[in-house]
Amino acid sequence: MRAFPRAASNAIFFLVSGFLLQASRVAAQVVIDPNTIPGHVKQIKYFSLEHRTPDQVSDEDRQVIQARKKELTGEALFYGYDITKPGWTYDQAICPLMPDTILLHYLNKFPDDTQSQFTALIPQAAGRIRIVPVLYRNSAPYSPAVKNPRNFEIFNSLVPADVAKKDADPEGNWLSLGVCYAEVVGSRANVPDDPGLDTATIKAPVATYRYDSKTNERQVQFSDRDSPKIFKIWTISLNEVGRVTGATNEDYDTYVARIVQAPEPKGTITPPPVKVIPEPPQPPSTVTPAPPTSM
């Protein structure tokens, strides 16, 4: 398993999670995980944005989607996605930091177990629909969505300047800012408040905010329970006004503790070593005649 990313050596301070406070400020979901390690009083909670199926989309948003369907189809086709073909589904992610944008995830799962995916960003009013390519039949674009500078620019243009600056502050909704970026580039982030309460993510870091006083760079890092066997670690860099300047996400195998009883080796009886000490040589003996007997 790879080592987790470390903070920059010149980071002056870091703030560890304001998880529940963040969740209370935004339209987010906090889900309690029943798989918390037995015996713990505290239960693990997951932070994520609200997601809506097509039937749950508000009437206002549905009217916008329908009115711009032709434009949406053309923009998607330009990037290689033909949503007029069967198999395409979508859901809506509600990002409160992008109040003027409808964020849709489009997905098509093919019979050969591959899938294509992209994000559509539709302005509530006038403005161009933006497409973020994520997957083409399981293949990522030449420049992966997470790291593509074009997507930094798209995200930065959709989050109002005052909101971005406020939420890039330690007291702002920095976790929501990071999770919204993850959603734009195709993820559906589930952030645990205390990964150590789940044996599968026991080695994952908690959501963390870092600030570097030398460069004024901010960094948001959080874990994302991506699947039963994988979790991701997201690291999103922001400048002093809250604009995304870099992003990475790395996959890690979930950790499962195993106790392995090694078989005992077959024993062999070895006699103790015997050391033979030879008798030291004796000096030559002499024969002394008996004294004469007196008469």
Secondary structure of 24-72 as H, E, C letters? HHCCEEEEECCCCCCCCCCCCEEEEEEEECHHHCCHHHHHHHHHCHHHH
Structural domain range at position 137: 13-253
In a domain, 193, yes or no: yes
Average of per-residue pLDDT across 204-209: 91
* Angle at alpha carbon of residue 221, lines to 217 and 227, rounded to 5°: 155
Residues contacting residue 22 through CB under 8 Å, at least 6 positions apart? 28, 47, 173, 174, 175, 176
Please give the structure tokens belonging to residue 154. Answer: 């798209």
How many domains, in total, are found in the chain?
A: 1
172 secondary structure, DSSP code: S
Q: Which residue has the higher pLDDT, 115 or 197?
A: 115
In a domain, 3, yes or no: no
Report the distance separating Cα 263 and Cα 259, nearest Å. 13
Please give the structure tokens belonging to residue 34. Answer: 């029943």
pLDDT exceeds 70 at position 190:
yes
In a domain, 141, yes or no: yes
Contact 204, 231 (CB under 8 A): yes
In a domain, 287, yes or no: no
Which of 11-25, 66-80, 119-133, 154-168 shows the lowest per-residue confidence on average (mean pLDDT)? Answer: 11-25
Q: How many CA atoms lie within 13 A of 258 on its CB side?
A: 6
Per-residue exposure over 214-237, b if at least 16 CB sit within 10 Å of its own CB, e if not: eeebbbbbbbbbbeeeebbbbbbb
Contact 137, 116 (CB under 8 A): yes
In a domain, 293, yes or no: no
Report the distance separating Cα 175 and Cα 207, nearest Å. 7
pLDDT of residue 133: 98
Phi, psi of 136 (to 5 degrees): -125, 100
Report the distance separating Cα 204 and Cα 224, nearest Å. 9
pLDDT of residue 197: 87
What pTM does this model have?
0.77
Report the distance separating Cα 158 and Cα 222, nearest Å. 22
45-102 confidence digits (pLDDT tens)? 899 999 999 999 999 999 999 999 999 999 999 999 999 999 999 999 999 999 999 9
137-161 confidence digits (pLDDT tens)? 999 999 999 999 999 999 999 999 9
Residues contacting residue 62 through CB under 8 Å, at least 6 positions apart? none
Q: Which residue matches tokens 């993820």?
A: 187
pLDDT exceeds 90 at position 252:
no
> How many Cβ atoms sit within 10 Å of the Cβ of residue 106?
20
pLDDT of residue 229: 80
